[in-house]
Chain A
């Protein structure tokens, strides 16, 4: 059978400011109609560059070598007119629609209709009928055509993006991170939808993501990219079961399988973990170091209706334990965390620290916040871009008037966050650091105050797979070495399995299930926990069974 897409010795070089950076080198890939090809890799591995090069969507500074055969025709030598005709009608792209790939001020129906009007001569009523039909195919009611992107949820926007990609009945769909930033349940729905379309229509699908488990669940063939090259390619099962390249193993290990004993308390980190210290068996009766008692936070929306973001939560975070708070977006996780930190006033109920009510006066709160520190999701925006690492870390001690030598405090905190040698980082600015290093600086900033509890809101969600394990390893080491308690907010059950002692599942403002990780994740009792677990893409199990 002839190939739908064939990349022959593809190379892409970006030239910026006289410097040439080779983003993609010698990539050979092929895809037949009705097949799915998964491309996995971290940010900077060149996977998105490959996707964009197929329709020649790369910026002007990119120089493409090799051949890109789309249905036997070389895209790199096409004339502009031919290329524009091929775009979307032969091959279309599903971008990460949950974010910014839709025009924010035009109705989504218009945006879906745009390529139809461009590539066909259908009369207007038929165009509209087609839009309705496309929306139905992605399980959206037809009246959503009149919505603007901001009126839709992340999952709905991604469905719109898929409907748009199908508009001109292309034979090839390139999906670039189609489920990143979506919740597990929504992710499962979107992946199922893509899978169905491929099976029904014989469309070729290239699925690009950093999450190997997503590919394992959907793709027959998988290619793993690393530093611009395809380091491993083969049938999905085989790549997952017997990864040959080191990087594939690292990717697979970064997304552990819940229930796999090999990855319990074993995040993928290169640094050795200290042994588990002797801990008193956590007793359900022990009051927490940080505790919420019947905590309620109610917002009024613009129409004056009450929204119960947190609806009666009892939660304890004890000394020497990591508690994972899991739930979908909108479940109230972040509001709960903000309330625990005293950033949000509770409507009712109380927050206790070390058995005492957390003060509401600003002086009392300041003292409290020294003990309970926050680590945010995105280290790129959590750090002031014009402050050096030294200033970022020293700010907390200055505000709290900590005595002692400031420089040695900072160095100590950086070393504790495993930025070594700490001296070399002092004068660097955030943009000179990698994502993982930035997150370590954020954690060092928190550690500089010698807190007893860390509250981390999605601490690894914006980090690459290989860095992710390192940061999780750091949290676990801090707990084991310093006895630092942590409340880690996440939508990722694998993270909970990796490092947490207990897990609390939040659903619509309530904790529906709280207990030891093994109990909650292996024998879930609540329906919601079960559906969360069911939505997890599986397939990395075998990789980790080998004890990677």
Chain B
């Protein structure tokens, strides 16, 4: 999709606008930038976790008597006594093969562990995000359209309050308030009845509280962005043009104001998705939801260096990928960006 000025010899129109960059160049530039960020994240992740105090070997052997020879052998096996550059080289080469190393604590491949834990997190975050985006945007549109009404004031206030509440505290509060109506831990019941429907319902039942907690905390940002973005659009003159054409007010809103106001909100959804994934650590810890957040929490107690590094790279990578998607999507949605 190349944008180019069409028709008319340049002499005919002196103030003709120039066209923007070609799409392939744009995409190549953005993907290149994302790859560079990814490399940076890998290096950072490696160095960062080596600065954490604590000896992983000591942690692993805490509960049993170990001879100095055994300790030395363990160190050698884990490679922690090698020079730093050597460790990094091994790590980086492994990463290229898709090998994230082996967990110290669980003695299992990190990649497998992350693979198992990824889906519960995606389920939790995905559900909460979809609901938060729908709820936030609907509230945001209504609040902006009736600015300074009771609806606007009440909902802006409630959203801001929930936004400033710590997730774990809200989670615990919900647990107490529902009085055991919903399970407090895990994703599945141990005495699972057979059948797809029963399993789905069981997961949904477990999902309710963690999802609600996350939803309550994150919907505010979508609402507030949608609200302010729509308020900005509502002052635009092209809305007067639309009204002058004879469009009904709700058509003016649906067809002209809201789509334009959605643009910044869409970017936010993608930018925040990565953030929300990283932010699930506390919610997952409170509800023992078997996702990446809980895994991070466990790994930190080690510290289980390969596991931490692996989770870090996956989480940071997801933020980068989402940013990339947001930028590419924005270019598709907003023709003005194509020309810039």
Give the shortest distance, in Å, between A492 (CB) and chain B (any CB): 17
Q: A96, A105, A185: which contacts B334 (Cβ < 8 A)?
A: A105
Chain A residues contacting B333 (CB-CB under 8 Å) are 105
Within 160-192 of A, Cβ neighbours of B (below 8 Å) are at 164, 183, 185-186
Asked if B260 CB lies within 8 Å of chain A CBs, one says yes
**In the bound complex, do residue A156 and residue B21 qualify as a contact, i.e. CB atoms below 8 Å apart?**
no
Chain A residues contacting B77 (CB-CB under 8 Å) are none
Question: Contact flags (1/0) for A97-113 with B, using CB distance below 8 Å?
Answer: 00111111110000000
Within 128-161 of A, Cβ neighbours of B (below 8 Å) are at 141, 143-144, 146-148, 150-156
Chain A residues contacting B250 (CB-CB under 8 Å) are none
Binds A, one of B31-39, B44-52, B117-125, B241-249: B241-249
**In the bound complex, do residue A103 and residue B256 qualify as a contact, i.e. CB atoms below 8 Å apart?**
yes
**In the bound complex, do residue A105 and residue B335 qualify as a contact, i.e. CB atoms below 8 Å apart?**
yes
Binds A, one of B5-13, B58-66, B148-156, B165-173: B5-13
Chain A residues contacting B238 (CB-CB under 8 Å) are 100-104
Q: Is the interface of A mostly helix, strand, loop or mixed?
A: loop
Chain A residues contacting B22 (CB-CB under 8 Å) are 303
Closest to B247 in A: A118
**In the bound complex, do residue B18 and residue A156 qualify as a contact, i.e. CB atoms below 8 Å apart?**
no
Q: State the CA gap A114–B241 with chains docked (Å).
A: 11
Give the shortest distance, in Å, between B128 (CB) and chain A (any CB): 29
Asked if A95 CB lies within 8 Å of chain B CBs, one says yes
Within 71-88 of A, Cβ neighbours of B (below 8 Å) are at 84-88
Chain A residues contacting B6 (CB-CB under 8 Å) are 141, 143-144, 146-147
Give the shortest distance, in Å, between A75 (CB) and chain B (any CB): 13
Chain B residues contacting A141 (CB-CB under 8 Å) are 6-8
Given A156-B13, A329-B15: A114 in contact with B7 (beta carbons within 8 A): no
Q: Is the interface of B mostly helix, strand, loop or mixed?
A: loop
Asked if A121 CB lies within 8 Å of chain B CBs, one says no
Give the shortest distance, in Å, between A341 (CB) and chain B (any CB): 24
Chain B residues contacting A89 (CB-CB under 8 Å) are 246
Q: State the CA gap A118–B13 with chains docked (Å).
A: 33
What interface size band does chain A fall in? 35 or more
Chain A residues contacting B237 (CB-CB under 8 Å) are 95-96, 99-101
Q: State the CA gap A183–B3 with chains docked (Å).
A: 26
Q: A86, A119, A143, A301: which contacts B18 (Cβ < 8 A)?
A: A301
Chain A residues contacting B18 (CB-CB under 8 Å) are 301
Given A101-B241, A328-B14: A151 in contact with B248 (beta carbons within 8 A): no
Within 17-34 of B, Cβ neighbours of A (below 8 Å) are at 17-22
Chain A residues contacting B17 (CB-CB under 8 Å) are 150-153
**In the bound complex, do residue B244 and residue A92 qualify as a contact, i.e. CB atoms below 8 Å apart?**
yes
**In the bound complex, do residue A155 and residue B13 qualify as a contact, i.e. CB atoms below 8 Å apart?**
yes
Asked if A115 CB lies within 8 Å of chain B CBs, one says yes
Chain A residues contacting B7 (CB-CB under 8 Å) are 141, 143-144
**In the bound complex, do residue B19 and residue A151 qualify as a contact, i.e. CB atoms below 8 Å apart?**
yes
Closest to B236 in A: A100
Question: Contact flags (1/0) for B294-338 with A, using CB distance below 8 Å?
Answer: 000000000000000000000000000000000000000111100
Q: State the CA gap A331–B14 with chains docked (Å).
A: 9
Residue of B16, B245, B260 with highest tally of chain A CB at under 10 A: B245
**In the bound complex, do residue B14 and residue A104 qualify as a contact, i.e. CB atoms below 8 Å apart?**
no
Chain B residues contacting A100 (CB-CB under 8 Å) are 236-238
Q: A84, A95, A330: which contacts B246 (Cβ < 8 A)?
A: A84
Chain A residues contacting B246 (CB-CB under 8 Å) are 84-89, 115, 118-119
**In the bound complex, do residue A330 and residue B15 qualify as a contact, i.e. CB atoms below 8 Å apart?**
yes
Give the shortest distance, in Å, between B340 (CB) and chain A (any CB): 9
The 7 closest A-B pairs by CB, nearest first: A87-B246, A153-B15, A141-B7, A148-B335, A115-B245, A84-B246, A302-B21
What are 22 A-B residue pairs whose CB atoms fall within 8 Å in the complex? A57-B243, A87-B243, A88-B245, A92-B245, A95-B240, A100-B236, A103-B241, A104-B238, A105-B333, A114-B247, A141-B6, A141-B8, A146-B6, A147-B6, A150-B336, A153-B17, A154-B15, A155-B15, A164-B241, A328-B14, A330-B14, A330-B15
14 new A-B contacts, CB < 8 A, other than A52-B240, A328-B15, are A84-B247, A84-B248, A87-B243, A88-B246, A95-B237, A99-B237, A104-B238, A118-B246, A150-B335, A150-B336, A151-B19, A153-B15, A186-B15, A330-B15
Q: Which residues of A contact B (CB under 8 A)?
A: 52, 55, 57, 84-89, 92-93, 95-96, 99-106, 114-115, 118-119, 141, 143-144, 146-148, 150-156, 164, 183, 185-186, 301-303, 328-331
Q: Which residues of B contact A (CB under 8 A)?
A: 3, 5-8, 13-22, 236-238, 240-248, 256, 259-260, 263, 333-336, 339
